[in-house]
Amino acid sequence: MTMKSVPYGNINIISGRASPSYIINGESIAIVDVCFPSDAKSILTFVRHTLSRDVNDIELIVLTHSHLDHINGVDYLSNKTHAELAAHPNAEKYLTGKQAITLPKGHKLKEFMDFMVKHSLPRPSISDAFLMPWAGIPGIRKGIRSKVSRWLIDGADLPYHPEWKVIHTPGHTDDSICLYNSQHKALISGDTVINLQGQLVLNPLLRLDREAIIESLNKLKQLQIDIIYPGWGAPVFGKGILGRVSIDT
């Protein structure tokens, strides 16, 4: 995995084994999504040695949604910091294991695995397999151990980082959120909009509600966005970039 700095909105990227983590580096630090424990270790190393900051400056861990490739490093990172965990209220049932992650109607888990293989998406390392809680897997009721203390509602300021706004963008999942910075015209899009081999798309994998995700895209198009930090793939720059998003692949 690689670590690099991006000079837009104080964002740093940890390119994890599957989904990236984003570091919002302000007076305090917020981490957005933590795929696997190995990614959490990379985050801690980056904060200490590249940012030259104490890991206890990490005050917030944000989950853009409850799929396994965004949450299975959270327990490890939480145990190493004093950070609060934040997510949309719809995530509560998944993160606690009260309800299994929903598969879209007619969707089969085999399709998920075929998609992962087709796009060469990494699987957890042996070390990750022992350390991760195996939460957020479709069809399995298993949660994380960490407790959410900050529930993020649509239109709210991100705790400790009021320059970022929470936008509820259901469709991929019912708990999906994006984070928007109007000053830098930047969007951390989670898995609502992803960069799939160079093409911006509404995430086709395990899409829960096609109509809802299109509505979410239209909601995002009301904003000025010149950079997207996606849940998969590299950041994408340019004016009017949401106009390039493909609805179906």
Write out pLDDT tens, residues 32-80: 999 999 999 999 999 999 999 999 999 999 999 999 999 999 999 999 9
Here the tokens at position 46 are 């980056």
The model's confidence at residue 4, banded by pLDDT at 50, 70 and 90, is low
Here the tokens at position 40 are 């959490």
Q: How far apart are CA 146 and CA 152, in angstroms?
A: 16
| Block residue for tokens 């590299």 | 234
End-to-end CA distance of the chain: 27
Write out pLDDT tens, residues 138-170: 888 999 999 999 999 999 999 999 999 999 999
pTM equals: 0.92
State residue 67's pLDDT score. Answer: 92
In a 10 Å sphere around its CB, with 0-12 CB exposed, 13-18 middle and 19+ buried, how is residue 205 labelled?
buried
Per the CB < 8 A criterion, the answer to whether 147 and 159 are in contact is no
Contacts of 235 (CB under 8 A, 6+ apart): 6, 8, 13, 195, 227, 228, 229
The answer to whether the Cα torsion of 218, 25, 46, 125 is positive or negative is: negative
Q: In what order do the strands lie in the sheet with 29-32?
A: 2-6, 11-15, 21-25, 29-32, 58-62, 84-87, 148-151
If you count DSSP H runs as helices and E runs as strands, how many of each does the chain have, helices first? Answer: 7, 15
The model's confidence at residue 18, banded by pLDDT at 50, 70 and 90, is confident
Q: How far apart are CA 185 and CA 223, in angstroms?
A: 8
State residue 83's pLDDT score. Answer: 98
Q: Topology of domain 2-97+109-122+131-244, per CATH?
A: Metallo-beta-lactamase; Chain A (3.60.15)
DSSP-assigned beta bridge partners for residue 104: none
| Block residue for tokens 């004016």 | 239
| Block residue for tokens 């239109």 | 155
